[in-house]
Amino acid sequence: MKFSSKLLLSAATAGAILSGSVLAADVTEATSEKHAGAATQYRQAVFQLVRSNMGPLGGMAKGALPFDESVMETNAVRLEQLADMMGDYLSVDTRKFDVETGAKDEIWENFSDVEKKVMALKTAAQGLQAAVKAGDESAYRGAIGKIGASCKSCHDDYKKD
């Protein structure tokens, strides 16, 4: 009987996790001009925060700023957290409304790909955190580069010029 209860609990947990993943991938349509405007504003705010955390990292990767482990770790943690939020803020399809956005329509047509790219950002941010924790200065530039590459990948496909 214990085996059946454990199996049932495992199946229920797996089902909840999988249904949560599916729900997270769902694109919802903005229901009004106000909703579309707010969704766009929040999306842009998240990306402004990404930009503010990437700036110093980019400067370090280019050698314009000295490596600062404290800044790298803090900004990598923030980028990981922002990546966790991106799916929610990107999933609201605002195409039906006249909002000023840099998003291409394809973002909502291929949202599973967007989520993969967001996961790549999260993974890259975790990689920089690991490099800093290990004190592996030789890995800093490459780890920052992976974060930048994940951002560029999404911009190339889903951001208007």
* Bridge partner list, 28: 92
Q: Summarize pLDDT for 122-134 with one digit per residue, the tens.
A: 999 999 999 999 9
Q: Which CATH architecture has domain 27-158?
A: Up-down Bundle (1.20)
Considering the entire predicted model, what is its pTM? 0.82
Give dist(CA 62, CA 20) in Å, integer.
39
Residue the block writes with tokens 């924790």: 133
Under 8 Å CB-to-CB from 111, ≥6 apart: which residues? Answer: 25, 27, 90, 91
**Is residue 137 a known part of a binding site?**
no
Which sequence spans correspond to the domains of the chain? 27-158
Q: Summarize pLDDT for 82-116 with one digit per residue, the tens.
A: 999 999 999 999 999 999 999 999 999 999 999 99
**Is residue 155 a known part of a binding site?**
yes
Contact 28, 67 (CB under 8 A): no
Burial class (CB in 10 A: 0-12, 13-18, 19+), 117: buried
**Is residue 154 a known part of a binding site?**
yes
